[in-house]
């Protein structure tokens, strides 16, 4: 038997009829109470006071009903539609069961959009697979050549590097797409080569930053836009198992980042998404046992730019902690100590916006271990609250379920597994934030400050979300 379905217009009509009837009964009851007390002016005053209190209570009840059956479902429906439009799970029909046909219509539209996106995604995947195969062949070929190749833009930021370049640059720091080339090579020889290569190619001697290592190099200007191809000769050919993919983002050649961070577009942010595993939940008494991070640029993770290390906490790891993350004393016996591991992470996260789920927890452990962690921060707990409202759950599991991000069971509560999930959720939330008109870093930070209490409550709780 098909259940009775009332239209939204009928529900609203019946709602106001019920409101009128309840208000009439409240006033009639108050008048009767005044008459029963003897009438006269005193009775009318009593009736007026009673009516006011009755109507106040009725208004509160009406607000509760409206909030629960209309306002909250509309908010959840909007969030579900936005999530579905940007790769999430779409709206839930049950959420909008009191909104008549609106919930079904929204879910149907989301299903059709999802089907269209699936078809498009299959076509993109086929094209991507072909391009990936070509890229792998090119990577294998370049790995055999004893040269390192770096493409830099007019602002001297790295827009491309190959496996040999990664191996060479790593001697001066962790290779980072979008980083200034002067983080790795002395700037003066490069600027001199730029001047000499105004009409072609210039040869010079590159000097590795913070060292005396030198390498013969060539700089070739490209297209008159200030970009240049930097080729370092006589580097060692990589073994096939050591070959790294070519890492690039050509959009870095087309735009220079806004110098004021607050005004910088979300998609122009260089972010490091990180997560830690620890011996316990108290930053004052416990210590790190594992750190993982990935770099996100242009609203997508950068292939190959990952950091992961076990950490020797210098103490026994409690069995209760091992049961959560699977890391025991034997795993960390040969691992770097906390200071060394955090220093390496600091090099990887240089000049980046830190992104984490419940960032205060991780940053307190990192700060205690040393280094400068005064990075700008975006917290995915607060971003979730901005997009989905404070009435929803904002744990990492809940957020990923809402956005359609899968965390393999064997990867949950591992530093890299949680980092990858947080990075994917963060990238899916960026276009949703832009759709709400929050297009710059400053816009998002100002909005997240309204929900700061969430983190205070979260970190006061006995268990970490």
The Cα 80–Cα 143 span in angstroms is 46
* Parts of the chain belonging to CATH 3.30.450.20: 145-251
Nearest to 381 by CA among 401, 396, 368: 396
pLDDT in tens, the chain (465 residues): 444 555 556 666 676 777 777 777 777 776 676 667 665 556 666 666 676 677 677 777 777 777 777 767 777 777 666 666 665 565 565 666 666 556 666 666 666 655 555 565 566 556 656 555 555 555 555 555 567 889 999 999 999 998 888 888 888 888 999 999 999 999 999 999 998 887 778 999 999 887 778 889 999 988 777 889 899 875 555 454 455 678 888 888 887 778 899 999 999 999 999 999 999 999 889 999 999 999 999 889 998 899 999 999 999 999 999 999 999 999 999 999 999 999 999 999 999 999 999 999 999 999 998 878 989 999 999 999 999 888 788 899 999 988 889 888 888 889 999 999 999 999 999 999 998 899 999 999 999 998 877 777 666 654 444
* Parts of the chain belonging to CATH 3.30.420.10: 263-460
- The contacts of residue 69 (CB under 8 Å, 6+ apart) are 98
Q: What pTM, to 2 d.p., does this model score?
A: 0.74
CATH class, 145-251 region: alpha beta
What CATH number does domain 263-460 carry, 3.90.550.10, 3.30.420.10, 3.50.50.60, 3.40.50.80? 3.30.420.10
């Amino acid at each position: 038997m098909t259940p009775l379905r009332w239209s939204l217009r009928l529900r609203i009509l019946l709602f106001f009829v019920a409101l009128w009837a309840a208000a009439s009964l409240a006033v009639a009851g108050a008048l009767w109470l005044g008459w029963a007390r003897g009438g006269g002016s005193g009775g009318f005053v009593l009736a007026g006071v009673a009516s006011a209190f009755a109507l106040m209570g009725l208004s509160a009840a009406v607000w509760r009903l409206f909030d629960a059956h209309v306002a909250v479902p509309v908010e959840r429906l909007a969030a579900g539609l936005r999530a579905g439009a940007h790769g999430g799970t779409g709206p839930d029909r049950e959420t909008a069961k009191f909104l008549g046909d609106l919930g079904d219509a929204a879910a149907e539209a989301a299903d059709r959009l999802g089907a269209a996106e699936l078809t498009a995604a299959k076509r993109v995947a086929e094209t991507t697979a072909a391009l990936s195969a070509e890229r792998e062949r090119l990577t294998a070929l370049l790995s055999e050549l004893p040269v390192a190749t770096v493409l830099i833009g007019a602002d001297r930021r790295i827009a491309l590097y190959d496996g040999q370049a990664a191996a060479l640059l790593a001697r001066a720091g962790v290779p980072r797409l979008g980083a200034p080339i002067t983080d790795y090579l002395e700037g003066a020889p490069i600027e001199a080569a730029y001047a000499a290569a105004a009409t072609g190619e210039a040869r010079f001697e590159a000097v590795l930053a913070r060292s005396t290592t030198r390498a013969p190099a060539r700089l070739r200007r490209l297209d008159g836009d200030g970009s240049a191809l930097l080729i370092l000769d006589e580097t060692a050919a990589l073994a096939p198992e050591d070959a790294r993919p070519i890492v690039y983002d050509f959009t870095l050649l087309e735009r220079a980042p806004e110098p004021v961070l607050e005004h910088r577009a979300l998609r122009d942010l260089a972010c490091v998404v990180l997560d830690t595993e620890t011996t316990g939940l108290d930053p004052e008494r416990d210590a790190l046992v594992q750190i993982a991070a990935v770099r996100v640029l242009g609203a997508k993770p950068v292939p190959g730019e990952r950091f992961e290390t076990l950490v020797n906490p210098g103490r026994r790891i409690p069995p209760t902690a091992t049961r959560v993350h699977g890391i025991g004393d034997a795993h960390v016996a040969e691992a770097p100590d906390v200071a060394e591991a955090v220093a390496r992470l600091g090099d990887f996260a240089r000049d980046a916006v830190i992104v984490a789920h419940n960032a205060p927890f991780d940053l307190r452990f990192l700060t205690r271990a040393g280094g400068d962690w005064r990075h700008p921060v975006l917290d995915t707990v607060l971003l979730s609250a901005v997009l989905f409202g404070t009435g929803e759950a904002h744990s990492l599991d809940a957020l990923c379920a809402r956005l359609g991000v899968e965390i393999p069971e064997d990867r949950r509560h591992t530093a890299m597994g949680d980092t990858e999930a947080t990075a994917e959720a963060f990238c899916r939330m960026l276009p949703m934030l832009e759709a709400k008109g929050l297009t710059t870093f400053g816009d998002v930070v100002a909005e997240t400050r309204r929900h700061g209490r969430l983190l205070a409550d979260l970190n006061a709780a006995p268990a970490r979300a």
